[in-house]
């Protein structure tokens, strides 16, 4: 069965960076985009970007350009999200999510499987 | 661009039906038939329950239905059950990215 398992909670000071992992299993890893979505306390969901595990296609949301980096390791079927220059407003639960459409069908931004979420707390 | 607008909370009794609205603009909900809905229980990742405005993924109960009119999408849950108590989020495609609603907390009384 499809499963996305994320790394554990993190605490960082303002200005630091954090790297969250998302290990995928149960499907063809290189055929589907992986997206990252976050939810800050009391806020809605916010899309951060997507990566094509099978190639070079990476798109970042405008709000995170220059601060977020998505990478992948096909040997371990793991995707990573690194967020730098952290500020208190980045305190949130971060999710990875698998695209429902395969790469060739094109993404309509439907996410059919999600990780369990990783709480990142930014505090001095 | 602002998030889609949902009521912050709603409630209903077992067996009743409730409808959650999601209002956007002509640049998102009104401009595309790519609306989805997610259900999220505490401590878990969201679950896709509706895509393409009104299609249910395999395994999702037919008590969940959805529609769209103009710039507003709606999710209807019929025959409310205790297990339906969760947060619900709408989403729409817009300009090569998804836009989400702020979420609606559904309480089953």
**Residue pLDDT, tens place only, A50-72:** 999 887 789 999 999 899 999 99
- How far apart CA B23 and CA B6 sit, in angstroms, is 7
Tens of pLDDT along chain B (109 residues) come to: 458 999 999 999 999 999 999 999 999 999 999 999 999 999 889 999 999 999 999 999 999 999 999 999 999 999 999 999 999 999 999 988 999 999 999 999 9
Predicted confidence at residue B2, as pLDDT, reads: 59
Interface test with B, best of A45, A62, A93, A101 (most B CBs within 10 A): A45
- How far apart CA A82 and CA A99 sit, in angstroms, is 20
Task: Answer whether B3 touches A (CB < 8 Å).
Answer: yes
Long-range contacts of the stretch A63-68 (C-beta < 8 A, 24+): A68/A36
Per residue in A78-108, pLDDT tens?
999 999 999 999 999 999 999 999 888 888 8
- Beta strand segments in chain B, E: 9-12, 18-23, 35-40, 47-50, 64-69, 72-77, 86-94, 97-100, 104-108
A5 to chain B, closest Cα gap in Å: 11
pLDDT at residue A110 tops 90: yes
Task: Answer whether A108 touches B (CB < 8 Å).
Answer: yes
Predicted confidence at residue A105, as pLDDT, reads: 86
**Neighbouring C-beta atoms of residue A95, cutoff 10 Å:** 26
Q: Which residues contact A111 (CB under 8 A, 6 or more apart)?
A: A35, A37, A97, A98, A99, A100, B38, B46, B48
- How far apart CA B50 and CA A67 sit, in angstroms, is 32
Contact A44 B100 (CB under 8 A): yes
Q: Which residues contact A15 (CB under 8 A, 6 or more apart)?
A: A85, A86, A87
Are B68 and B53 spatial neighbours (Cβ–Cβ below 8 Å)?
Answer: yes
Please give the share of chain A, as a percent, with pLDDT higher than 70: 100
């Amino acid at each position: 069965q499809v499963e996305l398992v994320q790394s554990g909670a993190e605490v960082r000071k303002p200005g630091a960076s954090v790297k969250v992992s998302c290990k995928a299993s149960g499907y063809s890893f290189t055929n589907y985009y992986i997206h990252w979505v976050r939810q800050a306390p009391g806020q809605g969901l916010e899309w951060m970007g997507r990566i094509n595990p099978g190639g070079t296609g990476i798109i970042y949301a405008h709000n995170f350009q220059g601060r977020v980096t998505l990478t992948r390791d096909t040997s371990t079927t793991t995707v990573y999200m690194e967020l730098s220059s952290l500020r208190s407003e980045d305190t949130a639960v971060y999710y990875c999510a698998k695209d429902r459409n395969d790469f060739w069908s094109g993404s309509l931004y439907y996410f059919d499987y999600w990780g369990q979420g990783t709480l990142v707390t930014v505090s001095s | 661009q602002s998030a889609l607008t949902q009521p912050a909370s709603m409630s209903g009794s077992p067996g009743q039906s409730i409808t959650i609205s999601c209002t956007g603009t002509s640049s998102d909900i009104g401009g595309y038939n790519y609306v989805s809905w997610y259900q999220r229980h505490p401590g878990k990742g969201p679950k896709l329950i509706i895509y393409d405005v009104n299609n249910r993924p395999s395994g999702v109960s037919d008590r969940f239905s959805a529609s769209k009119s103009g710039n507003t999408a709606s999710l209807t849950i019929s025959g409310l059950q205790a297990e339906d108590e969760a947060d619900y989020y709408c989403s729409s495609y817009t300009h090569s990215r998804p836009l989400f609603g702020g979420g609606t907390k559904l309480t089953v009384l």
